[in-house]
Every structure is written in C-alpha cells, then in structure tokens.
Homo-oligomer: A and B are copies of this chain.
Amino acid sequence: MGSTALDDLSERLGAAVLTDPEAIAPYARDTSRAAPEGEPIAVVLAASTEDVSAALAWASAQGVRVSVRGAGTGLAGGAVGYPGGLVISLAGMNQIITIDPANRLAEVEAGVITADLDRAAQEHGLFFPPDPASARISTVGGNIATNAGGLRCVAHGVTTDSVAGLEIVLADGRIMRTGGRTIKDVTGLDLTSLFTGSEGTLGVITRATVRLKPVPEGAPRTFRASFAKIEDAGAAVAAIVSGPAKPEVLELLDALSVEIIESFHPSGLPVGDAAILVGQTVGPRAEADAAAILEVCAAHGSVASEISETDTLLEARRLSNPALNARGLRVSCDVGVPIAALAEMFLGVEAVARDHGRRVSTVAHAGDGNLHCTVEAGESADEYAAAETVIDDITRLALSLHGTVTGEHGIGSVKRHELAWQLDQTAIDVQRAIKHALDPSGILTPDRGI
C-alpha cells in the first residue's frame, strides 16, 4: 500500500488517523497472550459511524486487513493488529445516547465503558446486567462483539440476552440496523444474535440498544461455603441452580486460588479448604435465599459457611487475575461443561495438573459451568508452550464431558486451533460461508474467531 492510499484515508477522516509508529503501538495488542506478527500501518480513531463506514470502504477497496477494538481488554487475541493492517478504535465513540426508563432500554455508542452505562442506569433505578470482570475498563461494544460473560450470568444470562438491537457497519461500508425496541420480534433472521459474539468477523458494531433491569429492592447478601472435597462443591452447585433460591452470583475458588488471592490482598478468605463457593443474593429475600443456598451446601458436605452484608468476599474473588499473575500463574482458559459434569471436571483438572507436574488454579463461574483454569509458567516461550499443552488437555477434558472450548472469552486467534475440536466441519464451513457472503474481500478480522 502506497502512502497515497493512506493520504486518501486521512483526507476522508481528517485528524482521526494515527500513522506514527509510536502512536500506533498501544493499539497493536490486546490483553491476551497473542503477540502481533507485525505492526499495523494506521489507526482510525473513529468519532462517528460515518468514520467507521469510510474506513471500511477504504480498507475493502485497498484489500487492507482490519482489526477492531474498544478498550482492547479481549483475552483471545481478536483485537491484535495485523501486519500492515488498519486498526479501527471505537474508544472515542463513548456517548450514552439515551436511557429510556419506561421501556428499560438504553441506546449507546459502542465505546461506552460498561461500568459507565451501569452507573448511568442506576440513576434511574435500573442496571445493565452484563458484568465481565473487566466491566470497569471494557466497552459495551467489545462485550457485545465477544458476547462476554461475567459474574452475574447465572442470574441474567450472557451479553446477548441484554442486546435488543445493533447498528452495524459492514465490510464494504454499508450501515444497517438490526433488532429494535420491542421485547419480542421475529421479523426476518436474528441478525442481532448473529453479530453478537461474532468477534469482529462480520461487521463493526457502532451502536447498540441494550436492555436494562430494575435494581432489586433491599441490600444484597454475600455468602460463602467451604468444602473439604472440591467434587462436593461441584455437586452443591448443580443442586443450587435447580433449587428455588436463585443466586445472582455463584463462584467457585479452589484451594490454590484462595491461598494466592489471600496472600496477594488479605481480606479474610479462609485458607486450607479444598474449595469455597462464594456468591450473592439480592432482593427483599436476599437473607433467606442465602440461608437456603447454604443449607443446600450443608446437605452436600460443606464444612463451614457464612453470610455477610459486605462485599468483601466478592471483591476478593475479583482480584483473582492480578493475584494469579503475580504468582506466575499466567496461561488460562475459559472452558465450560454441563452443570452436572462440574464435579468430574474439577477432579479431572487436578489430575491433568498432576500429570504435567504444574500448578493449575481453578476459579469458576460455577453456576454456569464455566471454568477459568490458570497454569503456572515461566516467562520464556518454552514455558508458555508447555503451559499451553496443559490447557489443551483441560480443553479436551471439557469436550469429553460435552463441554465447550470457550464459555465467554471467544475464539480469537488464541483458540482458533480448537474450533475443529468442538465443531463439525460443516458447521465451520457454514460460518465461513456466511463470513464470505458479508465480507467477500476478507478484510474484517480475517483468520480469527471462525
């Protein structure tokens, strides 16, 4: 690509194009372990849907590969820049257009920080259910593009369950709207769901209409149950989610995670048990629901428990990533299994760790059957590669239990070799046929996601 072409792009977009390598560098990586294979040639700091449209029309015409990013907090390598490619950043499109309390809807630009939307909704007695661990730094658009999960999914579903409609720019620059403002709508194909979780492969999400929920009355309760056997905790989770008392959060921490989190930031987590379940109940019956959940735990062999009005337990849980990284547990996954297979999965992960002679921690969105297993690794490439083989074994174990290779982070580039482990070839072919139909030049996040 000659400088004339780049000049043409800059001219169409004004000052919003970065071409200085030092300015570009921060936009070339995401938060995953995927390293860029080379530097992108420019970054478009989009300020409007029209900017995105102009940039994509240019990229399609030039055959330039495009990576798309909100805050760059993705964990699967989906937003890493392409060598000689264009980066489109939506971070500057951060306006909350409207909040409509009567219909419990919000219209936002893609670059709005997820926690900012939640805060704005709270002013109307509402909240935005999706809460990935990154909610304070990630964007609504990025959450939608990856169909992000989080701690509250056990009660409110994943991001797609909170998306009512999208504005999307296609690879050739055309702009379209999907979905709308109703609760039910079966007009045509469900493009909203198709683009949610499409990881930048089909189009660029520039705006979204999202669903809000009323903030429950009363003060929440956090609860904790400790187990001497991790498989008992797994069985307890399966019983809790089938029971009448519904937790809003239901997380599991194994012994290693508890010990590491507590040493990283002491907050009174009890150390030494095989596993603890921590969670939250909300609403006027929060106390009674927490007690009912702990009774289920007791019936499944829990050895200690507590109910608290403070958020300390969940705050400790939220520290797991920095705590694990600080202790050299660096290579992680986000596999999922059917809920009744949790106990077997937990034991299997321990067996994989023993076989490899490497420490592996497990922190799980247990109520969804979604595990984050993190493997210790030195900082060398060899060490990472060795840790990856542990992840591979854990992933194959999850699949043998009818699970999934990714419950919430996405395929990106990091897990692309695992696609065919889970999907049949026809399903892969169909996904690529859909992509080709919408992006015939193959410029949008190529060779990732699908």
Query: Which residues of A come within 8 Å of B, CB atoms?
Result: 100, 102-105, 146-147, 149, 153, 158, 160-161, 170, 174-178, 180-191, 193-194, 196-198, 201-202, 214, 216-217, 238, 242-244, 283-284, 336-341, 365, 368-370, 402-411, 418-419, 422-424, 426-428, 430-431, 433-434, 436-438, 449-450
Contacts and interface: CB of A to CB of B under 8 A. Distances in A.
A170, A338, A433 interface centre (most CB from chain B within 10 Å): A338
A186 B182 contact: no
A27 B153 CA distance: 43
A100 B369 CA distance: 16
Nearest to A418: B187
Contact of A184 (B153, B177, B418): B153
B186 A408 contact: yes
Contact of A189 (B194, B284, B436): B194
Q: Is the interface of A mostly helix, strand, loop or mixed?
A: loop
B433 A190 contact: no
Contact of A182 (B161, B407, B418): B407
A191 B191 CA distance: 10
B214 A407 contact: no
Contacts of A427: 176-178, 188, 191
Given A178-B427, A186-B410, 14 more contacts: A104-B242, A105-B338, A158-B184, A180-B422, A181-B338, A182-B338, A182-B402, A184-B368, A186-B404, A187-B406, A187-B418, A189-B194, A191-B427, A434-B434
A340 B103 contact: yes
Given A197-B190, A216-B244, A284-B244, A185 B406 contact: yes
Nearest to A193: B193
Contacts of A426: 170, 174-176
Contacts of A428: 188
Nearest to A398: B182
Nearest to A126: B242
A219 to B, nearest CB: 14
Given A176-B426, A244-B217, A427-B188, A183 B336 contact: yes
B183 A369 contact: yes
B438 A430 contact: yes
Contact of A188 (B336, B368, B411, B433): B411
17 contacts: A102-B238, A160-B190, A170-B430, A181-B338, A182-B336, A182-B407, A186-B409, A186-B411, A187-B418, A187-B422, A188-B419, A188-B431, A189-B194, A189-B434, A216-B244, A244-B283, A434-B438
